[in-house]
Amino acid sequence: MSLAAPFYTSPEVFDLDIAEIFSKQWIFVATEPEIAEPGDFVTVTLGRYSVIIARDDDEQVQAYHNVCRHRGARILAEESGSVGNIVCSYHQWTYGMDGKLLYAEGQSPTFDKSCFSLRSVNVRSIAGLIFICLADEPPADIDDVAAIVAPYLEPHDLRKAKVAKQVDLVEHGNWKLTMENNRECYHCSVGHPELLNTFFPTWGYSDSEAIPTRLRPIFDRFNAAMVEHKAVWDHYGLPHERVAELDTRPTGFHIEREPMDLAGESFTLDGTVASTKLLTDMPVTRLGRLSMHAQPNLWLHITSDHAITFSVLPIGPDTCRVRTTWLVHEDAEEGVDYDLDRMTNVWEITNQQDANFVGLAQEGISSPAYVPGPYAPSEFQVEAFINWYIGRLRFHRGIPDDHLSVVQEAG
Amino acid sequence: MSLAAPFYTSPEVFDLDIAEIFSKQWIFVATEPEIAEPGDFVTVTLGRYSVIIARDDDEQVQAYHNVCRHRGARILAEESGSVGNIVCSYHQWTYGMDGKLLYAEGQSPTFDKSCFSLRSVNVRSIAGLIFICLADEPPADIDDVAAIVAPYLEPHDLRKAKVAKQVDLVEHGNWKLTMENNRECYHCSVGHPELLNTFFPTWGYSDSEAIPTRLRPIFDRFNAAMVEHKAVWDHYGLPHERVAELDTRPTGFHIEREPMDLAGESFTLDGTVASTKLLTDMPVTRLGRLSMHAQPNLWLHITSDHAITFSVLPIGPDTCRVRTTWLVHEDAEEGVDYDLDRMTNVWEITNQQDANFVGLAQEGISSPAYVPGPYAPSEFQVEAFINWYIGRLRFHRGIPDDHLSVVQEAG
Amino acid sequence: MSLAAPFYTSPEVFDLDIAEIFSKQWIFVATEPEIAEPGDFVTVTLGRYSVIIARDDDEQVQAYHNVCRHRGARILAEESGSVGNIVCSYHQWTYGMDGKLLYAEGQSPTFDKSCFSLRSVNVRSIAGLIFICLADEPPADIDDVAAIVAPYLEPHDLRKAKVAKQVDLVEHGNWKLTMENNRECYHCSVGHPELLNTFFPTWGYSDSEAIPTRLRPIFDRFNAAMVEHKAVWDHYGLPHERVAELDTRPTGFHIEREPMDLAGESFTLDGTVASTKLLTDMPVTRLGRLSMHAQPNLWLHITSDHAITFSVLPIGPDTCRVRTTWLVHEDAEEGVDYDLDRMTNVWEITNQQDANFVGLAQEGISSPAYVPGPYAPSEFQVEAFINWYIGRLRFHRGIPDDHLSVVQEAG
């Protein structure tokens, strides 16, 4: 059953989500190609937090609270850029890329600069995917997760990629509705005609008997493609066993490698590659997709020619932001090696369709007449998301095992 | 005296108004001509509720909560339209016009469709005026009210009319200020010069001695017209005795038939009909107006050639929506039988003037320096509205008889 | 140290600021030249209050709540204008400029007009600067303050000035951040290049040893100019001793007379006068500036040729309005005696720069990662503002002496 209405509508639960989920879990916020060089930075808004993600002079990824230690001004106002030092524009307090206060004019002789470094934030890159955790003690299983997923991701060399396009879409729904929408393809058949050119709509069905009659020919085609692709993946040493730990660990995730339909190469309308400069040296275009989901806010797909990452960040009880980033090989040239519109248009359309569904869900659930309804069997990943979410709230708050008590606690 | 400030400004009282008035009383939401054919629907927003008003395959008016029983999505996103079945666009759950779930793909064999019908809402049409009540047990006196007012309304055949125009106006004031403004004409003399061409500004004065000197000649003209019109109404068998039960029953109302000034036929600038195709077969244009007020949110006027209905729906503590609908005979052709601008411009101007007054009232009352002030004798219907409103809050909440305790209860 | 975050972000503290500071202290709201003639008025929004400031038929300044005593409508909707009587547009209740109800149509014979005068507000003009106090018992030390500052201000004849320009700027920060920004010039060196043409950036440094090396030559120039100016001020009988009582009395203030840089005459880019028609008959243009700060919301500067007043009014926890008014001699003609752009552009640019800093401060402090930081020695007037503010809250609320308890009390 879906959650009770306050989980999607109440300001108190929104505050709870920021405090207990987005401030205590590992949150996917950027990719390494966005800060390729020392001094490069992006700023990320997470609830009321603003965090600077920057590459330091030793080429390491660092994260700091974007708050001056003098009188609290926002230091870097831009969403991205490149700097030598981190300088607050208000009174020119100047911090190194290591976060240390280097200079503050006009202080008394007793002023101790070492007490006023930028406050750091835990940060972790897994194969080029940057996660931060605002808590002092982040979930420790990130090491285990990294050990499992890195072998799947690293052959695709995301650290050597560059950003082809990045789009932010504000959706008029609670962030959990956006995640739930992502976690099932029950809505794809009518909802996403363009995506379904290459994405098998049988996703979510494991048992051929349960599949609606109209989908059975497609399921047969999917199974045949799976046999073909496994041979290719094995040939190139690409791990492809599905790992499904969405609700069985603190840093829940799911990774899988699957074939795609039509040409089977990429998320284009005909399935052929959008970039002829592939992400890696493997001389094969028809590789299907490597897909990863991580709780609470990530999904991504990697094909032979490009990668697409999605991060969801809450804005308010009924609004969130979905950031979509397309990555290509760092040497690929737009207009020469790849056609940007062709590469991006299927997911741009799909995102808009999903935003519409999320908006309808938010509007409907906001009615006092809403009552939780039953998930279909193919919505099992939605259930896994809900289970993980409630489990994490319980873990962080130490409260009993049912949905409504969480809300009461919040209220 | 006017109400204390929190009744017009506080979010808590607004929630109380939605819970105790708009969720428990009969609320006027539409007219039958808006859903003339089977499959036609309108959606109505009432607080956080969205309700579908539809004509079913048996030509009956039905009302359902606009919330899918699967995961709660808003089903019909349009304000009006025509459908075969009621289909949720998210996962294609399909309901009949009778609200029953007909189809939901991919469910397990144990799934019982009969448990997932749309949730219905009480609905009632009186001579073509559609009222809904969100409560399980609506005020029972709607039957008595229907028995009283139907004989006045039915000769005007609203069910056979069609919509000539419908306009929504967002007013920047609490819904009660909009209702209070409607319930008196003390502000008309300077406030509504166009309306006063045909609407006697003596409305609200029953005793000629109390009438300001400047209005006495008009009052004489009104009284003479009243004598003339009564003979006409009697000739055509039109009931015209005033019934004033605005604060003496749960479903408070007031109905009256009165003459109009100048040509006395219609709400045009010169008082002549705007539509030569009259609403009924009665061969007389100078019929004055039939006017009805019902608590909490309706007023309407019917002249020989057209009808105008007004519904007020709250949006927030300081905002409401006024929907104005002009109805003409279903066979009347725009540009041939009626001039739409001529028919609508007096009330469009009047509505704008009233919206301005409501905005000023909201702004003034929002000052902590506001203290309730005295109603003039001609504002007796405002008092009746306030009495009815406080009485209904007391009835539904079982709280004692003074204004402030209601607010304390709300806080 | 700067205040804890809730002082800048919480709605509860905002309500406290309106209730305990802006409703109980003397607030600067206008200058007499804005209401030069009987019947002239301005309306001022102060929290949820709207106040009419008007000149009555005896040429006295009066202040009334802008709320009709009938049903509470906002009476004067314009920000400024000129009227014969104060007439509510809703039902034409008509008040004299003395606030008495003159006329209300259609009342019963027992209606007593004398009970329905406009509610008055305490008002006080000091040398043309209009202050109001919403409390029944305003701080009594306004008499002492007037006695001290009037001799400084009166030689500049503000009552005989006229408004050359008035600009309202909405800043996206708590009003206290706008005040704090005004109370220090630590941010000027990089932040206000245009202003620093004439405004010595050494403002705030009293001890030459503490001054940053780069500012020492400027400090020498300032000290030389001070010697020169004192002789001039003494010659013309202009008081110039600094009085610093920002946090030592209920109506905290600071007044000083200082030289300016370059031509030293005015806030223009080269320091020469912008108006050749001076404010007074004194035949000297190089007079430096007379500057006054008053808690909670005023600062002003007067040069030989013009005056600039600033008032800060809260709008919400994270928004305030800064009104800047430029005054010139009443006989000065634009384009003949003064060039308006040249007179206003330095402070228009400076205000925009400050609005940007205030916005960055608000954004940074809104992060839960903000912790109060240390003031630099040259920020002593910021400390004085904070001390005064906390002291006033303590005085009005009777609560103990630390910041957080104030917030807890508010919550």
Q: Edge-to-edge, what's the strand order for the sheet holding B40-46?
A: B61-65, B49-55, B40-46, B80-82
User: What is the ipTM metric for this complex?
Assistant: 0.93
**Segments of chain C with pLDDT less than 50:** 411
Q: Is C373 on the interface with A (CB under 8 A)?
A: yes
Q: Is C68 on the interface with B (CB under 8 A)?
A: yes
**pLDDT, tens digit, for every residue of A331-378?**
999 999 999 999 999 999 999 999 999 999 999 999 999 999 999 999
Q: Which of B189, B369, B377 sits opposite C67 (nearest CB)?
A: B369
The pair phi, psi for residue C8, each rounded to 5°, is -105, -10
What integer pLDDT is reported at residue A411 of this predicted model? Answer: 44
Mean pLDDT computed over every residue of chain B = 95
Q: What does the angle CA C233 – CA C236 – CA C237 come to, to the nearest 5 degrees?
A: 80
Q: Is C113 on the interface with B (CB under 8 A)?
A: no
What is d(CA C141, CA C143) in angstroms, rounded to the nearest whole number? 5
Q: Of all helices (H) and strands (E), which one includes residue C123? A: strand C122-126
B–C: how many Cβ contacts below 8 A?
89
Q: Which CATH class is domain B1-23+150-411?
A: alpha beta
Q: Is A371 on the interface with B (CB under 8 A)?
A: yes
Kindly list the partner chains of chain A, i.e. chains with 3 or more CB atom pairs below 8 Å.
B, C
Q: Is A94 on the interface with C (CB under 8 A)?
A: no
Q: The tokens 């409103």 sit on which residue?
A: B389
Q: How distant, in Å, are the alpha carbons of B266, C154, C196, C306 from that of C267?
A: 66, 21, 9, 9
A–B: how many Cβ contacts below 8 A?
88
> Does the pLDDT at position A311 exceed 60?
yes
What is d(CA C52, CA C99) in angstroms, rounded to the nearest whole number? 10
Mean pLDDT of A235-245: 97
What integer pLDDT is reported at residue C403 of this predicted model? Answer: 59
Q: According to CATH, where is 2.102.10.10 located in chain B?
A: 26-138
> Does the pLDDT at position B176 exceed 50?
yes
Q: According to CATH, where is 3.90.380.10 located in chain A?
A: 1-24+142-411
What is d(CA C221, CA C208) in angstroms, rounded to the nearest whole number? 12
Q: What does the angle CA B9 – CA C22 – CA C346 come to, to the nearest 5 degrees?
A: 110
Structure tokens at C363: 């954004």
Residue of B nearest to A212 (CA): B106
Q: How distant, in Å, are the alpha carbons of A240, B53, C94 from that of B41?
A: 51, 5, 49
Q: Do B367 and C105 touch (CB under 8 A)?
A: no
Would you place residue B411 in the very low, low, confident or very high pLDDT band (cuts 50, 70, 90)? very low
Q: Which of B48, B90, B107 sits opposite A367 (nearest CB)?
A: B48
Q: Do A361 and B70 touch (CB under 8 A)?
A: no
**pLDDT, tens digit, for every residue of C303-337?**
999 999 999 999 999 999 999 999 999 999 999 99
Q: Are A377 and B107 in contact (CB under 8 A)?
A: yes
Taking the CA atoms of chain A, what radius of gyration do you get in angstroms? 22
Q: Which of A166, A164, A160 is nearest to A333 (CA)?
A: A164
Q: Do B106 and A377 touch (CB under 8 A)?
A: yes
**pLDDT, tens digit, for every residue of B133-165?**
999 999 999 999 999 999 999 999 999 999 999
Q: How distant, in Å, are the alpha carbons of B256, B296, B324 from that of B251?
A: 17, 8, 21
Q: Are C304 and C265 in contact (CB under 8 A)?
A: yes
What is d(CA A383, CA A387) in angstroms, rounded to the nearest whole number? 6
Mean pLDDT of A137-166: 97
SS3 A59: coil
Q: Is B67 on the interface with A (CB under 8 A)?
A: yes
Q: How distant, in Å, are the alpha carbons of A286, A294, B124, B254, B391 from that of A251?
A: 31, 7, 54, 65, 56
Q: Is C193 on the interface with A (CB under 8 A)?
A: no
Chain A neighbors of B90, CB-CB under 8 A: 187, 191, 357, 360-361
Q: According to CATH, where is 3.90.380.10 located in chain B?
A: 1-23+150-411
> Does the pLDDT at position B207 exceed 90?
no
Q: The tokens 């009461």 sit on which residue?
A: A408
Q: Which CATH class is domain A1-24+142-411?
A: alpha beta
What is d(CA B144, CA B170) in angstroms, rounded to the nearest whole number? 33
Q: According to CATH, where is 3.90.380.10 located in chain C?
A: 1-23+141-411
What integer pLDDT is reported at residue B397 of this predicted model? Answer: 83
What is d(CA A383, CA A25) in angstroms, rounded to the nearest whole number? 19
What is d(CA C39, CA C56) in angstroms, rounded to the nearest whole number? 6
Q: Edge-to-edge, what's the strand order for the sheet holding B101-103?
A: B86-87, B94-95, B101-103
Q: Which of B382, B293, B294, B319 is nearest to B27 (CA)?
A: B294
What integer pLDDT is reported at residue A409 of this predicted model? Answer: 55
Kindly list the partner chains of chain B, i.e. chains with 3 or more CB atom pairs below 8 Å.
A, C
Structure tokens at C210: 């503490």
Buried b (16+ CB within 10 A) or exposed e, B299-328: bbbbbbbbbbbbbbbbbebbbbbbbbbbbb
Q: Edge-to-edge, what's the strand order for the sheet holding A319-329?
A: A161-171, A319-329, A307-316, A298-302, A289-294, A253-258, A243-245
DSSP tag of C238: -
Q: Do B50 and A367 touch (CB under 8 A)?
A: yes
Q: Which of B48, B108, B119 sits opposite A366 (nearest CB)?
A: B48
**pLDDT, tens digit, for every residue of C253-308?**
999 999 999 999 999 999 999 999 999 989 999 999 999 999 999 999 999 999 99
Taking the CA atoms of chain C, what radius of gyration do you get in angstroms? 22
Residue of B nearest to A366 (CA): B48
* C-alpha neighbours within 13 Å on the C-beta side of residue C332: 27
Q: Is C11 on the interface with A (CB under 8 A)?
A: no
Structure tokens at C223: 């000290």
CB burial of residue C349 (10 Å; 0-12, 13-18, 19+):
middle
Mean pLDDT of B205-214: 82
Q: Which of B360, B367, B372 sits opposite C89 (nearest CB)?
A: B360
Q: Do B376 and C91 touch (CB under 8 A)?
A: yes
Chain A neighbors of C374, CB-CB under 8 A: 70, 111
Q: Are C236 and C129 in contact (CB under 8 A)?
A: no
Distance between start and end Cα atoms, chain C: 22
Q: Which of A329, A273, A281 is nearest to A303 (CA)?
A: A273
Residue of C nearest to B354 (CA): C90
Query: What angle separates helix C340-365 from helix C175-182, to the nearest 10 degrees?
Result: 120
Q: Is A214 on the interface with C (CB under 8 A)?
A: no
The CATH number, out of the four listed (3.30.1370.60, 3.90.380.10, 2.40.50.700, 3.40.50.300), of the domain defined by the range C1-23+141-411: 3.90.380.10
Residue of B nearest to A208 (CA): B106
Chain B neighbors of C47, CB-CB under 8 A: 368
What is d(CA A36, CA B55) in angstroms, rounded to the nearest whole number? 61
Domain spanning B26-138 has what CATH number? 2.102.10.10
Q: Which of A65, A90, A107 sits opposite C360 (nearest CB)?
A: A90
